[in-house]
Amino acid sequence: MALVAVGLTAIYSTTHGPASEFLLASVRRNFERQFVWAGISFTGVLFALLLPVRFFQKAAYPIYVFTLLLLLAALAFGREINGAKSWLYIGPVGLQVSELAKVGTVLAVAQLLSSRRPHARNVRYALMAVALIVLPALLIVLQNDMGTALVFFGLVPVMLYWSGLPLHTLLLM
């Protein structure tokens, strides 16, 4: 929340200061747009916190598959912005589906690792977790968004370590 507040403050200070009359109208409206989306996001987080953990356990894999389908749709029908074809537009609302895929992938990997807790030290389950991450990462690479794809590969070691995989095994991977 603090990071969002700092970001909104920075946007406000750059778009509503003495030089604001020289900015394009679309730039001046940026703060309002970001503020609205921060409110929507905050509401979504509060809603997610009210859901029982069981919901996420049951929905993890369907959400993962849905995000993979969204990534494929972005490849086929997405709009290219800054060289990356990773945006889907539904009317006036643009979704960067790779951001949704991060959530879906984390849920799926967490479900895999938590449901197999007794086997956490088994490399086979670690490789299954890696496979769950590689698929969306490859689709994102095909969208020409290498930075976001690299974030996926940063998720794997942390989640595997927290699930109980020994550090020496993790380093060998």
pTM above 0.85, yes or no: no
Residue 119 confidence (pLDDT):
64
Residue 68 confidence (pLDDT):
97
Secondary element (H or E) of residue 87: strand 84-90
Residue 118 confidence (pLDDT):
65
Residue 166 confidence (pLDDT):
77
Residue 72 confidence (pLDDT):
96
User: In which residue are the tokens 């990071």 written?
Assistant: 3
Dihedral, CA atoms, 9, 15, 17, 18, nearest 10 degrees? 170
Kindly list the averaged pLDDT for each block of 10 residues, start to end, along the chain of length 173: 87 75 74 88 92 93 97 91 85 88 94 75 80 94 91 85 78 71
> In one letter, which amino acid is 35?
F
Return the domain boundaries, the chain.
1-50, 59-172
